[in-house]
Amino acid sequence: MRIIATPGPTHEPPYVREALSAETSNPDLDPEFMTKYIDARNMIGEMIGARGDNVVIWMGEAMSGLEAAVANLVKPGEEVISLSNGVFGDYFSELVRRYGGRPRLIRWDVRHPVDPDELQEALNESEASIVTMVHCETPSGVLNPLREVADAVKRSGKLFVVDAVSSIGAVNIDVKWGIDVLIGGSQKALNVPAGLTIMAISDEAWRRIEDCKYEGFYLNLLNWRNLESGFPYTHSEPLLNALIASLRHIMREGLDEVYKRHIDIRNRVIRAVNAYGLTLVPASMEWASPSVSAFYLPTGINDGLLRESMWRKYGVMIGGSLGELSGKVIRIGHMGYTATLEFMLPTVTALGMALMDFGLSINLNNAMDAFMGGSKS
Ligand SMILES: Cc1ncc(COP(=O)(O)O)c(C=O)c1O
């Protein structure tokens, strides 16, 4: 069996594959499609504490959600604060610039999380109405303290826009902490192919969207608010079927169990790869995301060649990184279906074998002991 252990798109579970191949009709004309859509919205709502009718699921990769959030919420010339410790956090401020806002980037080191204690003053003195942040910076595997930052943002009376693309489904999120727009994608811990964006929008954010009067067409969120006359654009039934299959699976396992499983697997993967001598990118284990682990490569080992060899020789695909970590870091996605012993034991083993092939002296037994040694971290 080949294993896709990248931080999204992920290995497809059999129930997702089956749902993708189910017979379809015409989403614009078949009333049953709307029932399915509402079902999916409600399950997402249950997962993140949102009202189902405040959830939008549309066709388009998750980037379209980030872009839509900025396009629909930012007024020309206004300041928008982007809290960032990586590529996707920075990307928000670039979007703000492109949509005519004034980006103010508050930056942390890629190995550290956004620090809620350091930002209150900046938030309080800024005239900005919107603050953006990424929950899990996938390129570094750092998980930002969403609840604490949401508290700080709410104390300053601003709207909070959050990219949760690589955390939704793997980490507990409740939009009632103070998240006004939450953006998720289909291809990470939800294990569906790329192509669906999920957005949860608060009542306050909807009011702001109405006020902003964004004139764009496809990304106009207001088109997706009231679906009484049907969908604004053609939806994808196979992707929606797959999302529903995935959400039902998650709900059957239980959200608490799913989140615990991710933490347990993260701890095992980190212990084993540390035993190979590789350093975790997050400067502290407590900041490591339950969905993706990033490690610095030892000097002299070429990222691309190592990953290619793992894939060709051992049938396991892992990721490289982006931005300033590109070429220096490998990433293992343990997301949803792949956050299990069944997937991660062979993944970690293949990494060890490949590192040995590249001349690193490592002790596989020690790493396996570390992996199997329970969830102590
Ligand atoms: C944190 C984060 N945001 C946004 C995206 C973009 O998602 P997509 O590739 O679906 O556009 C990614 C993809 O890796 C991501 O990790």
User: Is there a single domain that holds both residue 300 and residue 346?
Assistant: yes
User: Is there a single domain that holds both residue 237 and residue 267?
Assistant: no
Q: Phi then psi for 173, rounded to 5 degrees?
A: -135, 135
| CATH label of the domain that carries residue 365 | 3.90.1150.10
Q: To the nearest whole percent, how much of the chain has pLDDT over 70? A: 99
User: Is there a single domain that holds both residue 220 and residue 345?
Assistant: no
Whether 183 is in a domain gets the answer yes
The answer to whether the CB of 96 falls within 8 A of the CB of 84 is no
- Among the atoms of ligand 1, which is closest to the Cα of residue 64? 11
User: Pairing mode, if any, of strands 3-4 and 316-317?
Assistant: parallel
C-alpha 28/C-alpha 217 separation (Å) is 18
For residue 31, the enclosing domain spans: 14-252
Whether 160 is in a domain gets the answer yes
Q: Is the pLDDT of residue 376 over 70?
A: no
| Single residue among 207, 226, 252 that ends a domain in this structure | 252
The answer to whether the CB of 354 falls within 8 A of the CB of 364 is no
Determine the residue of 6, 59, 88 to mutate for testing ligand 1's pocket, defined as the one with the most ligand atoms within 8 A of the Cβ atom. 88
C-alpha 295/C-alpha 331 separation (Å) is 6
- Asked whether 50 lines ligand 1 (CB < 6 A), one says no
Whether 30 is in a domain gets the answer yes
For 144-181, the pLDDT digits (tens) are 999 999 999 999 999 999 999 999 999 999 999 999 99
Which residue bears the tokens 């949760």?
Answer: 164
Whether 377 is in a domain gets the answer no
- Asked whether 322 lines ligand 1 (CB < 6 A), one says no
The answer to whether the CB of 170 falls within 8 A of the CB of 337 is no
For 248-271, the pLDDT digits (tens) are 999 999 999 999 999 999 999 999
**To the nearest whole number, what is the mean pLDDT of the chain?**
96
User: Is there a single domain that holds both residue 216 and residue 105?
Assistant: yes
User: Is there a single domain that holds both residue 315 and residue 245?
Assistant: no
Buried residues in 96-113 as b, exposed as e (16+ CB within 10 A): beebebebbbbebebbeb
User: Is there a single domain that holds both residue 273 and residue 354?
Assistant: yes
C-alpha 279/C-alpha 294 separation (Å) is 9
What is the total count of domains within the chain?
2
Whether 365 is in a domain gets the answer yes
pLDDT confidence tier of residue 377, bands split at 50, 70 and 90: very low
Q: Is the pLDDT of residue 375 over 60?
A: no
- Asked whether 166 lines ligand 1 (CB < 6 A), one says yes
HSE-CB at 359 with a 13 A cutoff on CA atoms is: 7
Q: Phi then psi for 162, rounded to 5 degrees?
A: -125, 130
Q: Is the pLDDT of residue 276 over 60?
A: yes
Determine the residue of 93, 140, 144, 166 to mutate for testing ligand 1's pocket, defined as the one with the most ligand atoms within 8 A of the Cβ atom. 166
The pLDDT of residue 172 is 98
For 103-145, the pLDDT digits (tens) are 999 999 999 999 999 999 999 999 999 999 999 999 999 999 9
User: Is there a single domain that holds both residue 234 and residue 276?
Assistant: no
Whether 301 is in a domain gets the answer yes
Q: Phi then psi for 108, rounded to 5 degrees?
A: -115, 165
Determine the residue of 10, 63, 84, 168 to mutate for testing ligand 1's pocket, defined as the one with the most ligand atoms within 8 A of the Cβ atom. 63
User: Is there a single domain that holds both residue 262 and residue 232?
Assistant: no
- Asked whether 183 lines ligand 1 (CB < 6 A), one says no
For 200-220, the pLDDT digits (tens) are 999 999 999 999 999 998 899
For 37-95, the pLDDT digits (tens) are 999 999 999 999 999 999 999 999 999 999 999 999 999 999 999 999 999 999 999 99
Longest Cα–Cα distance in the chain: 64
User: Is there a single domain that holds both residue 248 and residue 298?
Assistant: no
Q: Which two tokens stand for residue 350?
A: 């293949």
| CATH label of the domain that carries residue 47 | 3.40.640.10
- Asked whether 167 lines ligand 1 (CB < 6 A), one says no
C-alpha 352/C-alpha 362 separation (Å) is 7
Cβ neighbours of 47 (radius 10 Å) = 23
For 301-316, the pLDDT digits (tens) are 999 999 999 999 999 9
User: Is there a single domain that holds both residue 229 and residue 298?
Assistant: no
pLDDT confidence tier of residue 195, bands split at 50, 70 and 90: very high
Return contacts of 121-126, CB within 8 angstroms, 24+ apart. 122/81, 123/81, 123/152, 123/153, 123/155, 123/156, 123/158, 124/155, 124/156, 126/79, 126/81, 126/156
Whether 166 is in a domain gets the answer yes
- Asked whether 108 lines ligand 1 (CB < 6 A), one says no
- Asked whether 89 lines ligand 1 (CB < 6 A), one says no
The pLDDT of residue 374 is 54
Q: In sequence order, which residues have a C-beta less than 8 Å from that of residue 173 and are 6 or more positions away?
A: 47, 48, 49, 135, 146, 164, 167, 179, 182
Ligand 1 center to 8 CA (angstroms): 8
- Asked whether 62 lines ligand 1 (CB < 6 A), one says yes
pLDDT confidence tier of residue 229, bands split at 50, 70 and 90: confident
- Asked whether 134 lines ligand 1 (CB < 6 A), one says yes
| Single residue among 235, 252, 269 that ends a domain in this structure | 252
pLDDT confidence tier of residue 232, bands split at 50, 70 and 90: confident
Whether 376 is in a domain gets the answer no
DSSP H helices in the chain: 14-20, 31-48, 63-73, 87-98, 116-125, 146-155, 203-212, 237-253, 255-275, 303-314, 341-357, 364-372
Bridge partners, 55 (sequence order): 200
| Single residue among 221, 252, 283 that ends a domain in this structure | 252
User: Is there a single domain that holds both residue 297 and residue 231?
Assistant: no
Shortest-distance Cα residue to atom 3 of ligand 1: 165
C-alpha 232/C-alpha 37 separation (Å) is 13
The pLDDT of residue 173 is 98
Ligand 1 center to 194 CA (angstroms): 10
User: Pairing mode, if any, of strands 159-163 and 181-185?
Assistant: parallel
Q: Is the pLDDT of residue 187 over 60?
A: yes
User: Is there a single domain that holds both residue 180 and residue 277?
Assistant: no
Q: Phi then psi for 295, rounded to 5 degrees?
A: -135, 140
Cβ neighbours of 18 (radius 10 Å) = 13
